[in-house]
Structure formats: C-alpha cells, structure tokens
C-alpha cells in the first residue's frame, strides 16, 4: 500500500505521516528529510540540493528520485509506506507510477490557507537529528528548546523564514497543487481540512483511511 500526503508546506504532512507510522507501522518516507540528511552529510547530491532548497524552489527531479528509489528499496518499505513531500509535480507523479506498486494507493490532500501556513511555520521548531516536529504553542517540547525523542537542541529550519515560506507557497500553488486534480480524477483522493487542530486532522485521516480500505476489501480488491 502507498499513502501519499499532498499539501502545502506546514499543512501537517509530517505529523500525519508520523501518526500513520505509529498506528499502521508503515514507514514515513519524507523527501525533505532525505534531502536534509544529504545536505548535512555533504554528499554530492546534498551539495546540489542545498542551493535549491534555500530559495524555496524544488530540487531537480533526478536528484530527488535517486534518493527516493534508494529509500524505497529498503526492507521496511516492502509492504507499504507513507510518502511525505513526494510527488511535488506532475513529472514526479509519473515517475512514481512507473515505480509500480502492489496494493492500493490512497492520497490525502491536507488543505490549509496560506495565512495558517505562515503562522504555523513561524512557530515551528524541528529536531535536526531525528526530524521530530514541534510547535511553540500547540505542541511544545517537554523541555523548552530540546527534542523529546533524542534530546538534541531544536532549530528553526533555514527555509522557515517568512521570505522563503512565501516562495515555497508559490512553488506549491504552481507545481504541486495540480496533482490534486490528477489524483481526484483517478478516484484516489481524500480531502482533509488541514486548518483544523491536529487531533481533528488525524481523526479525519484515520476515518477516511479505514473507509477507503473497507470499501476496497468489500469490492474484493
Ligand atoms: P519539506 O521538508 O517537504 O518541506 O521539503 C523541504 C524542501 O526540500 C522543499 O522546499 C524543496 O526544496 C525540497 N524538496 C522536498 N521534497 C521534494 C520533492 N519531491 N521534489 C523537489 N524538491 C523537494
């Protein structure tokens, strides 16, 4: 099974992916996390990616696809995975189809207003080591400034500044949002109100997932 999370930056994709991982056991595969790891480790791909990420645009498809293929080849993805941040344009969606899949594909569109994105990302802090996500008001760490999971000092992502966020939103509307219509036409799409509090979003996603899987089992597929 493949679960795809679509949504603007700050729409809650990472939080939903993490919740699905603990509820269903499917690993969270985030191309943003993979890219940041490559940047930290200064791999050849990371050096290419860093410049593109800092401006709020997309990293080129070949680089992202190379990282993704490597990640999906690992054993933990064999029965299914949750994609956070991929595909981000129509070409990537075509590449994903070409990778093939056994089992259903389910797509969630986490719909958020640009205003909510700007507010959320200004208060977002993340762990540079394990990529856990916090919000200064809605989900503060137990010990201020440090990750609950691994104790590392939290940071504000370099691309979570107001100027870069505006660019990332533009990139999202121009390149990623058209995917909503693509997956709706295939009948795979579930729209979720991403402006709602995290608990409501997670409940809505679980309900939609259970209903979609139940329907498919009922249909014998
Ligand atoms: P994210 O953590 O998903 O917000 O991604 C952070 C940044 O990584 C984005 O602003 C892009 O520059 C880059 N990125 C992540 N996923 C992709 C992708 N599928 N294609 C191209 N660039 C990506």
Contact 124, 168 (CB under 8 A): no
Atom of ligand 1 nearest to the CA of 9: 4
Tally Cβ neighbours within 10 Å of residue 94: 12
Atom of ligand 1 nearest to the CA of 36: 8
CATH H-level, domain 2-26+79-220: superfamily: P-loop containing nucleotide triphosphate hydrolases (3.40.50.300)
Q: Which of 31, 33, 84, 173 to mutate for ligand 1's pocket (most ligand atoms within 8 Å of CB)?
A: 31
* Atom 8 in ligand 1: residue holding the nearest Cα: 32
What is the chain's pLDDT, residue by residue, as a tens digit (221 residues)?
Answer: 999 999 999 999 999 999 999 888 999 999 999 999 999 999 998 998 998 898 899 999 999 999 999 999 999 999 999 999 999 999 999 999 999 877 889 999 999 999 999 999 999 999 999 989 999 998 999 999 999 999 999 999 989 999 999 999 999 999 999 999 999 999 999 999 999 999 999 999 999 999 888 876 665 44
9 lines ligand 1 (CB under 6 A): yes
Query: How remote is the CA of residue 53 from the centroid of ligand 1, in Å?
Result: 7
Known catalytic residues are: 13, 88, 124, 157, 168
pTM (whole model) above 0.85: yes
Buried-state track 118-144, b at ≥16 Cβ within 10 A, e below 16: eebbebbbbbeeebbbbbeeeeebeee
Domain assignments of the chain as residue spans, ordered by start: 2-26+79-220
Q: Which two tokens stand for residue 150?
A: 């691994």
12 lines ligand 1 (CB under 6 A): no
Tally Cβ neighbours within 10 Å of residue 11: 25
Q: Which of 59, 82, 131 to mutate for ligand 1's pocket (most ligand atoms within 8 Å of CB)?
A: 59
């Amino acid at each position: 099974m493949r679960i795809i999370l679509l949504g603007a930056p700050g729409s809650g994709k990472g939080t939903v992916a993490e919740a699905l991982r603990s509820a269903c056991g499917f690993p969270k595969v985030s191309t943003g996390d993979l890219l940041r790891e490559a940047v930290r480790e200064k791999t050849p791909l990371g050096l290419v990616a860093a410049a593109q990420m800092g401006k709020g645009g997309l990293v080129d498809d070949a680089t992202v696809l190379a990282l993704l293929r490597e990640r999906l080849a690992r054993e933990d993805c064999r029965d299914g995975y949750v994609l956070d941040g991929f595909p981000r344009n129509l070409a990537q969606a075509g590449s994903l189809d070409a990778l093939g899949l056994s089992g259903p594909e389910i797509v969630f569109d986490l719909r958020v207003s640009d205003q909510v994105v700007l507010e959320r990302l200004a208060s977002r802090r993340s762990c540079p080591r394990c990529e856990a996500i916090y919000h200064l008001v809605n989900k503060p760490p137990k010990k201020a400034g440090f990750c609950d999971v691994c104790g590392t000092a939290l940071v504000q992502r370099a691309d979570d500044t107001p100027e870069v966020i505006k660019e990332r939103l533009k990139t999202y509307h121009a390149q990623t949002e058209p995917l909503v219509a693509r997956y709706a036409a295939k009948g795979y799409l579930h729209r979720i109100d991403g402006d709602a509090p995290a608990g409501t979003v997670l409940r809505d996603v679980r309900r939609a997932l259970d209903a979609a899987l139940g329907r498919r089992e009922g249909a014998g597929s």
